[in-house]
Amino acid sequence: MTQHPDIARQVPPDVRSLCHSLREAGWRAWIVGGCTRDMLLGREVHDWDLATDARPEDVTRVFRRVIPTGIQHGTVTVMLRGQGYEVTTLRGDGTYTDGRHPDQVTFVNDLEEDLARRDFTVNAIAFDPLDDSLTDPFGGCRDLEARLIRAVGKPENRFQEDGLRILRAARFAATLGFDLDPETTRAMADCSSRLLCVSGERVRDELLKTLGASEPSRGLRIMQTTGAFARVLPEILPMVGCEQNHYHAYDVWEHTVRTVDACRPDPILRLAMLLHDVGKPAVRALSDKTGDYTFYHHEEEGAQMSEGMGERLRLSNEQRQRVVHLVRHHLIPYESSWSESAVRRWVQRVGADHVTDVLEMARADAQGKGVDVSGTLEGLEHLRQRVEEQRAQGMALSVRDLAVNGRDLIGEVGLVPGPVIGRVLDHLLDLVTEDPAHNERERLLEAARSFVQAAETTVRAGPENQSD
- Decide: residue 196, CB within 10 A, 0-12 exposed, 13-18 middle, 19+ buried: exposed
Q: Are strands 83-89 and 49-52 parallel, antiparallel or unpaired?
A: parallel
Structural domain includes residue 449: yes
Instruction: Read off the amino acid at residue 352.
Output: A
pLDDT at residue number 349 = 93
What are the angstrom distances between the C-alpha of 220 and each of 100, 152, 195, 408, 466?
Answer: 22, 23, 15, 53, 61
Cα 26 versus chain centre, distance: 44
pLDDT at residue number 392 = 86
pLDDT at residue number 420 = 93
- H or E stretch at 128: strand 126-128
Same domain, 218 and 268: no
How many distinct structural domains can be found in the chain?
A: 4
Q: Which of 97, 119, 146 is the C-terminal boundary of a domain?
A: 146
pLDDT of 465 > 70? The answer is no
Helix axes 355-367, 267-275, angle to 10 degrees: 50
Q: Are strands 66-70 and 75-80 parallel, antiparallel or unpaired?
A: antiparallel
Same domain, 38 and 49: yes
Residue 320: CB partners within 8 Å, gap ≥ 6?
306, 307, 310, 311
**In the chain, what is the straight-line distance between the N-terminal and C-terminal CA atoms, in Å?**
94
Query: pLDDT band at 468, cuts 50/70/90?
Result: very low
Distance CA 221, CA 171 (A): 11
Q: 351: phi > 0 → left, psi -120 to 50 → alpha, else beta; which?
A: left
Same domain, 7 and 111: yes
Which CATH number belongs to the domain containing residue 225 in this structure?
Answer: 1.10.110.30
Residue of higher predicted confidence among 456 and 374? 374
Residues 307-334 have a mean pLDDT of 98
Structural domain includes residue 44: yes
Q: 154: phi > 0 → left, psi -120 to 50 → alpha, else beta; which?
A: beta
- H or E stretch at 340: helix 340-350
Q: Which of 232, 251, 280 is the C-terminal boundary of a domain?
A: 232
**Number of C-beta neighbours around residue 95 at 10 A:** 11
Which CATH number belongs to the domain containing residue 11 in this structure?
Answer: 3.30.460.10
195 in Cβ contact with 210 (< 8 Å) = no
397 in Cβ contact with 432 (< 8 Å) = no
Same domain, 133 and 7: yes
**Tens digits of residue pLDDT in 440-454:** 999 999 999 999 999
Q: Which of 395, 424, 453 is the C-terminal boundary of a domain?
A: 395
Q: Please count the CA atoms within 13 angstroms of the CA of 91 that sit on its side-chain side.
A: 20
- H or E stretch at 209: helix 200-211
73 in Cβ contact with 112 (< 8 Å) = no
Same domain, 363 and 448: no
Same domain, 97 and 120: yes
Radius of gyration in angstroms for the set of CA atoms belonging to the chain, rounded to a whole number: 29
DSSP labels, 398-447: SGGGSS--HHHIIIII-PPSSHHHHHHHHHHHHHHHH-GGG-SHHHHHHH
* pTM, 2 dp: 0.88
Structural domain includes residue 468: no
Query: pLDDT band at 5, cuts 50/70/90?
Result: low
pLDDT of 381 > 60? The answer is yes
Instruction: Read off the amino acid at residue 467.
Output: S
Structural domain includes residue 467: no
CA dihedral 55, 57, 62, 68 (to 10 degrees): 100
Residues 393-397 have a mean pLDDT of 83
pLDDT of 100 > 60? The answer is no
Same domain, 339 and 299: yes
Structural domain includes residue 456: yes
Residue 433: CB partners within 8 Å, gap ≥ 6?
341, 344, 345, 348, 396
Same domain, 376 and 247: yes
Structural domain includes residue 279: yes
Percent of the chain with pLDDT over 70: 94
**Tens digits of residue pLDDT in 209-264:** 999 999 999 999 999 999 999 999 999 999 999 999 999 999 999 999 999 999 99
pLDDT of 457 > 90? The answer is no
Structural domain includes residue 251: yes
- Decide: residue 261, CB within 10 A, 0-12 exposed, 13-18 middle, 19+ buried: buried
Query: pLDDT band at 467, cuts 50/70/90?
Result: very low
Same domain, 69 and 56: yes
Same domain, 244 and 365: yes
Running DSSP on this structure, what letter comes out for residue 174? H
Structural domain includes residue 466: no
What are the angstrom distances between the C-alpha of 390 and each of 344, 368, 384?
Answer: 8, 29, 10
Same domain, 128 and 20: yes
Q: Which domain, by its residues, includes 449?
A: 399-461
* Mean pLDDT score across all residues of the chain: 93
Distance CA 230, CA 136 (A): 35
Per-residue 3-state assignment (H helix, E strand, C coil) for 276-301: CCCCHHHHCEECCCCCCEECCCHHHH
Distance CA 299, CA 242 (A): 16
Same domain, 243 and 391: yes
Query: pLDDT band at 459, cuts 50/70/90?
Result: low
Angle at 249 between CA 246 and CA 250, to 5 degrees: 120
